[in-house]
Structure 1
């Protein structure tokens, strides 16, 4: 089970994998948004909120990812959501365990 640290690491890993693939394909936020969220009026802004968040300074935090957002984003960049989830869970468990070990030292 993931705690707050693990959940943050999971989302960080998902974002990183999607961003790496988006970048390698030369895809803009706008084109990704149109593919992943065709039902959203300002799809580029939705992608930006997921990637970088809204607001300024300390208040700027990425939007929490929903499962369906992950599915749409993965499909839009040509990634298998199962592989993305698998890698993200492994990363999250590793980060969470490192934090636990650091806390007990």
Structure 2
């Protein structure tokens, strides 16, 4: 694993991770287009984590049901969950003590 400071440049970037939305400028639709740039392996791991949570994690199952009743598509729900999961993982990594400083 890397230290939280290894990705300090990405915290300031609006395009991190690959689940960051960009605004399409067509018509009256309120949709987002995903930025396909970024770390493909990270994006893939986030996707797999979200799919597993959607099936087995009760708070996520409840969230999906609520957002579906609000009219969101499965793609939009997955995008939101990926961003939430990325923030959650980042907070866990940031809270972990740095082994280089402990030595």
Q: TM-score normalised to the size of structure 1? A: 0.31
Structure of higher CA gyration radius = 2
- Identify which of structures 1 and 2 has the higher relative contact order when contacts are C-alpha pairs closer than 8 Å and 6+ apart: 1
Of Structure 1 and Structure 2, the greater helix share is in 1
